[in-house]
Structure 1
Amino acid sequence: MPENASPAVVRKQGRYRRRLRSRIIVSFVLLGFCLTALFAFATNWARVRVENQLVEEVMNRNIDEYAKRYSLDPSRNATWPVKQMYARAVKPDKFEALRAEEPDWYEFKDGIHNLSGADEGGQRFSYKLAVRKTPEAWFFLAYDMTDSIRGEQQLKQALFLSVIVFSVLSWILGWWSASRVMRPVSDLAKRLRAYRGGTTHPEPLAPRFPDDEVGQLAEALDDYSARLTEVVQRDREFNADVSHELRTPLAVIRGATELLLARPGLDEKMLQRLQRIQRAEQQCSDLIGSLLLLSRNERGQGSSNVAKVAEQLLEAHRAQLGGKPLELVLEGGRDLVIDAPEAALSVALGNLIGNAVKYTQEGQVRVRVLDNAVEVIDTGPGLSEKDAASLFQRGYRGTHAGHSQGGGIGLSIVSRLCALYGWQVSIRPGDERGVVGALTFTPAA
């Protein structure tokens, strides 16, 4: 995010970020869902495992008992129905018949096997088959698992329903907990917003909150607020003192210059020097007034004719060109009037014109007044990508600055003035060469 992003842009981007309250609720829901799902999985797994162990243990005992009884009396019926089980003994002379009747049974080795499928009527079935093969006979014991599978499906449905119910309960608990946890934080944020544009010494926050984490945060904010208020107060006092102390000698310079200019018989060189001093004094006064308003974050009152201010600035720079082969031209209409004092417009537009004159060694600097903007177009060395990205940073001096005077704060001041008055400033490379700087003004209400 850019450092100079407006609060409205920051708030708009913040809408797409998940709030802390939502994160708490989501955490509760995920925790409840994961724990319930894990418990449901473990329950179903334990049930299947225990049931299989019990069923197989019973089947092993029964088939061993059946084989023992058969060995005592081979003439006994080869089939033995037991509750939920079916036992069968196959004599050696019936092995081939078994191959044709139950090919799967014929191929099975000793042990317990799982079988499932559908009968002729389309009904699903499932059973376990215990196999014991001896030279005297083959023994089979089938255990019907259809009811068990039906019960397993019912258990799964119940577990699934429990996962949903407990997830909903987790959401309710999370919402309630988040509301309880975030209420002090929301109250703190509300009180902080109430201080915006309030008194110089805001009411302390810490006494209104318990001695917990939120109370410690409120105490830290009180300390920060006190230090920030002190810094702002000192800054305002310093700006006011500097403004007063600088305006006094400037007033002396202005009065002395006006007296000297009123004297008759001044030669041309003396007149030009006095006029230059007068313009420099006016520029200093405008700059001091604009900086003082910036420090207070206050807009100055008044209106300005853009073409008139531009003409004054161009005239001041023409007097300082010396022998530099540079033409300063004003183009466009003369009717654009903006709601801002001439001092603020003079500082903003003067920086753009001053930079254009400074870095253009020959050619032309044109100031073009449009319907709701003013452009400064030069034929200088152009603009690099690095300069375009950093020109409005405080203290940055462009690639072509060389050993020229200046601290790299002019365009930073322009940017701050534009933010104060709602203007837009931009600097871009020209169509063929040079640079185009533009001030776009807020349309009149």
Structure 2
Amino acid sequence: MEFKQSLSRRIVIAFVLMTALVGGTFAIGIVETVHLVEERLISSELGGDLDRLLKMESIDEWRHRPEPSQLFHFSGGRGDFALSEDLQNLPPGFSELFRDNHSYYAYVHLVDGRRYVLMEDQSEFEEREQLLFAVVLVGFLLSLGLSGLLGWLLARKVIEPVVRLSGQVGHPDQLLERAPQLAPDYAEDEVGRLAASFDITLGLLRRALMRERLFTSDVSHELRTPLMVVASSCELLLESPELSARSRTQVQRIARACEEMRELVQTFLLLARSTADGVAAESQAGLREIADGLVEQWRPLIESKGLVFDYQPADGGQQTYNGPLLRSVLGNLLRNAWHYTEQGRIELRLGGSGFVVEDTGVGIPAAEREAMFQPFVRGGAARGEGLGLGLSLVQRICESQGWSVELADAVPRGCRFEVNLAK
């Protein structure tokens, strides 16, 4: 299972766990050692006291009593010296026993078949043990708290260059051609080597981005000349009175396709330059204006396929948008609906802050929807020669402009694309 804690938290946890392991081992060792030493000392003391008692006068005439905290019992003893039942099965040597909610240390000695037992109340020893346990426990808890604090301070110190490096790598200026190197700001340690690796990777990324931008710019620039030639030729052909009606229709389709290609070239160029806000004033347009133009372009194609094209315009106010990019978004969604709808209808509804394109086509399964906005991805029911770039282009344009696009099911079937143009 993947450990998903932050690196600083991992350091703190490691410190606390290490302290708990080492401190707990020492605490248990101290308690056990003290307990063992205490037993040995008391065993030796009780054994010595019992030997001294047995060296006195005969037991029948024994009148000396042990220490006030001690109890003496033996086989055949009378009164307080009688050997009770719980003492008769104690093994020779040192033992512990409980009597009347009290704990005792007992030492048993066998002489000529007779059993002698010397007992001592261990309440005082237990109090000392409890005090020792409390001191050890408090020390253990304090060591855990101090280790957590030390781990936190050390984590901040250790993580600080990593956090700084992360911020530098994630800064948009790092993709600029003349962005400064990161490695000189760090020592020649693991973080420094990581910064050097980032320098290499970012350098490769900058060169790749530059090649992409140059390629897009060059292609966009070079395509303009042949497109102008095609557009001019179409205009000249349309002015010819000898052109038949069928040929005129075909030339008009070529002219529309040429204009669409010109707009796509402009769209790609704007995306390559990443100048979402630096658009010329003459390229701004309203949603209704762009929608009306695209409806005029797409209605014949949609209706020639036997489909119903339902266009519901609305007053979009005075808000204007990037004309080429908005036209590309709406045009790609209409093309997608036309391509994947064989029967039924296609609907375009304008709203105050966006529009909806809905169709009765094959639809897109819920499991495939997220991937449909990736480049070169087509639905399972894809047909034709498309490359799967239309929805990817729509997503890229919306992201660059601060718009949003959502895909859902249409009723009773098909797809529903909703684009919100509000930033």
2:371 corresponds to: 390
> Does the C-alpha gap of structure 1 residues 64 and 75 become closer, same or farther in structure 2, counting only changes over 3 Å?
same
Residues 1:105 and 2:105 are matched in the alignment: no
Match of 1:152 in 2: 129
Give distance in 1, aligned partners of 2:159 and 2:344: 64
Distance across 1 between alignment mates of 2:134 and 2:262: 83
Corresponding residue SS for 1:80: coil
The gaps in structure 1 that reach 5 residues or longer are 1-16, 119-123
Residue 391 of structure 1: SS of its match in structure 2? helix
Q: Which residue of 2 aligns with 1:11?
A: none
- 1:422–1:25 CA distance, 2 compared to 1 (3 A): same
* 1:81 partner SS: coil
Q: In structure 2, do the counterparts of structure 1 residues 296 and 76 end up closer, same or farther at CA, with 3 Å as the change threshold?
A: farther
Determine the structure 2 residue equivalent to 1:54.
41
C-alpha contact 1:184 1:214 (8 A) present in aligned 2 = yes
2:334 aligned partner, one-letter code: I
The corresponding residue for 2:252 is 275
Question: Is the contact made by 2:316 and 2:353 (CA closer than 8 Å) also made in structure 1?
Answer: no
TM-score, structure 1 normalization: 0.83
Structure 1 counterpart of 2:345, one-letter code: Q
The 1:348–1:336 alpha-carbon spacing in structure 2 relative to 1, beyond 3 Å, is: farther
Deviation string, structure 1 residues 231-278 (Cα, Å, up to 9, x no partner): 111111111111100111112222222233344464322322222112
Corresponding residue of 1:4 = none
Is residue 75 of structure 2 the alignment partner of residue 73 of structure 1? no
| TM-score, normalised with respect to structure 2 | 0.87
Instruction: Work out which of the residue numbers 164, 184, 187 in structure 2 matches 1:210.
Output: 187
Paired residues for 1:17-416 under 5 Å: 18-67=5-54, 69=55, 73-77=58-62, 80-82=65-67, 85-91=70-76, 94=78, 98=82, 102-105=84-87, 108=90, 110-116=92-98, 125-132=102-109, 137-193=114-170, 196=173, 199-264=176-241, 266-299=243-276, 300-301=279-280, 302-320=283-301, 323-335=304-316, 338-402=319-383, 404-416=384-396
SS at match of 1:330: strand
Matched-pair contact (CA < 8 Å) for 2:286–2:320: no
The answer to whether the 8 A contact 1:308-1:334 is kept is no
Q: In 2 relative to 1, CA 268–305 (structure 1 residues): closer, same or farther, beyond 3 Å? A: farther
Offset, 1:207: 2.1
How far 1:367 sits from its partner (Å)? 0.9
- Give the drift of 1:279: 1.0
Which of the residues 396, 403, 408 maps onto 1:428?
408
Instruction: Answer whether contact 1:66 1:87 (CA < 8 A) is retained.
Output: no
* Contact preservation (8 Å) 1:424, 1:440: yes
Query: How big is each residue's C-alpha offset from its partner over 1:369-409, in whole Å with a ceiling of 9 and x where there is no partner?
Result: 1232211222223333344343222212222223x121111
The answer for the alignment partner of 1:14 in structure 2 is none
Q: 1:42 to 1:339 in 2, by over 3 A?
A: farther
Q: Deviations over 1:137-173 (max 9, x none)?
A: 4422012322211111111122122213322332343
Q: CA deviation at 1:304?
A: 2.8
Tell me: CA distance 1:421–1:355, structure 2 relative to 1, closer, same or farther (3 Å).
same
Distance 1:310 1:62 in 2: 111
How far did 1:431 drift?
Answer: 1.5
Amino-acid identity (%): 28
**8 Å contact kept, 1:78–1:89:** no
What letter is aligned with 2:37? V
* Amino acid corresponding to residue 186 of structure 2 in structure 1: F
Partner of 1:5: none
Does the aligned pair in 1 maintain the 2:103–2:123 contact within 8 Å? yes
Please report how far the alpha carbon of residue 221 of structure 1 lies from its aligned counterpart in structure 2 after TM superposition.
1.4
Q: CA deviation at 1:230?
A: 1.4
Tell me which moved more, 56-65 or 149-158. 56-65
3-state SS of 2:65 partner: strand
How far is 1:435 from its partner?
2.2
Task: Give the aligned residue type for 1:378.
Answer: D
1:197 shift after superposition: 6.5
Residues 91 and 138 in structure 1, CA contact (< 8 A), matched pair in contact too: no
Q: Contact 1:305/1:338 (CA < 8 Å) preserved in 2?
A: yes
Q: Report if the CA contact (8 A) 2:73-2:117 is conserved.
A: yes
Which residue type is aligned with residue 395 of structure 1?
Answer: F
Q: Distance in 2 between matches of 1:179 and 1:430?
A: 52
Task: Quote the RMSD (CA, aligned, Å).
Answer: 2.9
Instruction: Classify the secondary structure of the residue corresponding to 2:369.
Output: helix
For 2:163 and 2:376, locate their aligned partners in 1 and report how far apart those are by CA, in whole Å.
39
Unaligned runs of 5+ in 2: none
